[in-house]
Amino acid sequence: MKKITIADVATYANVSKSTVSQYLNKRYDYMGADTKKRIEAAIKALGYSPNIIARSLKQKSTKTIGVIVANILHVFSTQVIRAIEDYCNASNFHVIVCNADDDPMKEKRYIEMLRAKQVDGIIAFPTGENIDLYQGLLEENYPFILMDRLVPGVAMDAVLLDNEKAVHLAIEQFIKAGYKKIGMISPPMEQPVTPRRERMEAYKTALKKYGIEFRPAYLASGEITDMHIRIKEMLTLADPPEAILALNDRVLFELLQYTKDHQVQIPADLAIIGIDDVSFASFYSPTLTTIAQPAFDMGKKAAQLLFNQIQGDSRSETNVYRFAPQLMERESC
């Protein structure tokens, strides 16, 4: 089945390609009512649908953006993507989703491929490496928004959780409940990605704020696959923590698995707060106190910022937008 083009429509309607193009772009200002009707009929008769690729080539806009996440399997990423997609959809934009898996090489390749495909802009959860690449993008004024993570030394627009506040909310909640021996578990700190770094810092400053000394043994970080070992080490200390803050949902899962396997009573034996409002928080036993991230608002904001840049709003200054976390007070602390 031969693809039918604007030329076919023009022939059929007995007008020129230009006129058909005018019609398609809704510039009817000077178009004869009759011409219009003929074109309309021709399009319907032939079942014509324009080739957007050809248009993109000329107009230098693909109405497509790229979103590079670490891993779409993380609930937070999924929510952010959904919000972005909704926003794009309203403007007839499409979104290409890429998983960089925290691999700088993969990230680089995706960015280059997306640019070669002429996407109008990119929103990324950056690995934090590839600093030169990001710096180049910035200097070029290429529309780009950082999500969840910052790139050291690169002043791009970004939307992040107020990580400091998130941790302070949690620690404050522990303190209010009378806990002083407060531990924290986190993914690998060797990958000093913004949320981990900031939450770690905040953990220390929050403890200090309440006059509690920081104890390295109360801080466990490592690969998810080894997390249960780290947790065991911490909870079998001679003087173990009475409360633990889980830095994100993945790590919380490991902690809950451990407490389940070893019959640790929550909160009697161990109080728990997790960052990320997991789906089962309200019907787990006990219900789980969490710190919720406004993922949808964050995704929407990122999309708005990107569109501003795409529409060429003079990037007067770079901004880092911090979103407020929310304490979901339940039974685990």
In the complex, the residues that contact DNA under the rule CB under 7 A are 3, 5-7, 14-19, 21-22, 24-25, 30-32, 34-35, 48, 50-51, 54-55, 57-60
Angle ∠(29,30,32) on CA atoms, nearest 5: 115
Contact 106, 126 (CB under 8 A): no
Residue 283 binds which one of a second copy, DNA, none, with CB within 5 to 8 A depending on kind? Answer: a second copy
CB of 33 or CB of 268, closer to DNA: 33
Residues 273, 200, 193, 231: is their CA dihedral positive or negative? Answer: negative
Return the amino acid letter for 209.
Answer: K
CA 18/CA 38 separation, integer angstroms? 14
CB of 116 or CB of 268, closer to DNA: 116
CA 133/CA 41 separation, integer angstroms? 50
Residue 118 CB, shortest distance to a second copy, in Å, is: 5
Binding site for a second copy (CB under 8 A): 1, 49-54, 56-57, 62, 64, 71-73, 78-79, 81-82, 85-86, 89, 92, 94-99, 112-118, 140-141, 253, 256-257, 259-261, 278-280, 282-285, 287
Residue 68 CB, shortest distance to DNA, in Å, is: 23
Residue 114 binds which one of a second copy, DNA, none, with CB within 5 to 8 A depending on kind? Answer: a second copy
Return the amino acid letter for 198.
Answer: E
What 3 state SS string does 155-172 have? CCCEEEECHHHHHHHHHH
* Distance, first Cα to last Cα, the chain: 65
CA 29/CA 41 separation, integer angstroms? 19
CB of 163 or CB of 289, closer to a second copy: 289
- List residues bridging with 292 in a β-sheet: 326
Residue 318 binds which one of DNA, a second copy, none, with CB within 5 to 8 A depending on kind? Answer: none
Residue 97 binds which one of DNA, a second copy, none, with CB within 5 to 8 A depending on kind? Answer: a second copy
Q: Report whether the peptide linkage leading into residue 241 is cis, meaning its omega lies within 30 degrees of zero.
A: no
CB of 17 or CB of 215, closer to DNA: 17
Residue 321 binds which one of DNA, a second copy, none, with CB within 5 to 8 A depending on kind? Answer: none
